C-alpha cells in the first residue's frame, strides 16, 4: 500500500488552520497580548502541529512498508474492533471529565 505524500501534506496544511483548541488559544492570546507580541506563539503552534502531522503520515507509511501484514489484518475485521475500543476510551474519558467538573 502506497501512501500519497501530497495528500498527507494537504491534510496537514488544512488541519493546521481549522478551528480547534490551538486556534482558539491563539485567538485568546492575540486578544490578551496583541498581534505582534503573539506572533511567535502563533508560528510555534502552526509549525509544531504541522510537523507532527507530517511525521505521523511518514510513520504510518514506514509501518505500512515494513509490516504489510498489519495493513492486511486491518482489512479483515480489526477495524470494527478498533472503532469500538476507541469509542469506549472516549466515553470513559468523558465520564471522568464530567466527574471532575462535578456534573
Nearest 10 degrees: Cα torsion 99, 101, 102, 103: -80
* Residues 51-87: tens digit of each pLDDT: 888 888 788 778 777 777 665 655 555 566 667 777 8
Domain that holds residue 26: 1-66
pLDDT in the model for residue 62: 80
101's grid cell? 467538573
Give CA–CA dist 89/102, Å, rounded: 20
pLDDT in the model for residue 85: 79
Task: Give yes or no: residues 3 and 30 share one domain.
Answer: yes
Mean of pLDDT values over 24-37: 88
Give the predicted TM-score (pTM) of the model. 0.53
Task: Give yes or no: residues 58 and 30 share one domain.
Answer: yes
Q: What is the mean pLDDT of the chain?
A: 79
Q: What is the number of structural domains in the chain?
A: 2
Mean of pLDDT values over 7-18: 77
Amino acid at each position: 500500500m502506497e501512501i500519497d505524500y501530497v495528500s498527507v501534506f494537504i491534510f496537514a496544511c488544512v488541519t493546521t488552520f481549522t478551528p480547534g483548541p490551538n486556534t482558539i488559544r491563539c485567538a485568546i492570546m492575540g486578544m490578551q497580548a496583541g498581534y505582534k507580541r503573539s506572533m511567535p506563539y502563533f508560528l510555534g503552534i502552526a509549525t509544531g502541529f504541522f510537523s507532527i502531522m507530517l511525521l505521523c503520515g511518514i510513520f504510518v507509511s514506514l509501518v505500512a512498508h515494513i509490516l504489510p501484514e498489519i495493513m492486511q489484518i486491518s482489512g479483515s475485521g480489526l477495524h470494527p474492533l478498533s472503532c469500538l475500543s476507541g469509542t469506549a476510551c472516549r466515553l470513559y474519558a468523558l465520564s471522568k471529565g464530567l466527574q471532575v467538573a462535578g456534573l
